[in-house]
Amino acid sequence: MAAAVAHGGGHPTSTGTTNRKLMMWIFLGSECLFFGSLIATYLIFKHAVIERGVGPFPHAMMIDGHEEHGILNIPVTSSSTFVLLMSSLTMVLAVYGAQHARFKMMKLATFATILLGLMFLGFQVYEFRSFGAEGLNLGTNLFGATFFVLTGFHGTHVGVGVLYLASMLAASFRRNGLGPEVGEHMEIAGLYWHFVDIVWIVIFTLLYLLPA
């Protein structure tokens, strides 16, 4: 009975899902278009910067007979990527705990997800500061402008996700908790968080791993 209550319900639509979940799917669909346009813009102007020979450059390369070092720090970004992927695991545990009335698990896993999200943001702040120390910023070249806009918007989405989960964690400690539809609330939060993780995998692959 408790598990059934934890799952919640809401009002199903003709799609077989509830209104709240459907709205989240629509929102995530629009976000796919948003990030798709940012990624495409980055890839176009990244190569334009390389052709013009205006550094700093994303990867090591030969420019006019001289080897220029790459500014992207793959080991550091790989570590931050691992942290974000682990947050997807803790998010799955939080959703499982909510849907099976294991609320202590839900709270601990949500707290762990928040911490991992903050760690990822810490890595991003470190990366931005180190790039700035090497002379790369929004006004340096087109690569810098598109890079900071793309990764900055993703970081903003992670920050929103952290605040979203923190508000849900705080609400779970109230007398009535998150209400009878706690399972659905956590599942919707999980959809957003997993989307942010998937977008980062795409960004990490295209920006950091693929050579110029």
pLDDT above 70 covers a percentage of the chain that reads 78
pLDDT confidence bin for 188, thresholds 50/70/90: very high
Q: With both helix axes pointing from N to C terminus, report the angle between 182-203 and 19-52 in degrees, rounded to the nearest 10.
A: 10
What integer best gives the mean pLDDT of the chain? 84
Q: So where are the chain's domains?
A: 29-209
Q: What is the pLDDT of residue 67?
A: 61
CB-based contacts of 187: which residues, under 8 Å, 6+ apart?
21, 95, 98, 99
CATH superfamily ID and name for 29-209: Cytochrome c oxidase, subunit III, four-helix bundle (1.20.120.80)
- For 5-52, write each residue's pLDDT tens digit: 444 445 555 555 788 899 999 999 999 999 999 998 888 876 666 555
Read off the pLDDT of residues 117-134 as tens digits, 9 standing for 90 and up.
999 999 999 999 998 888
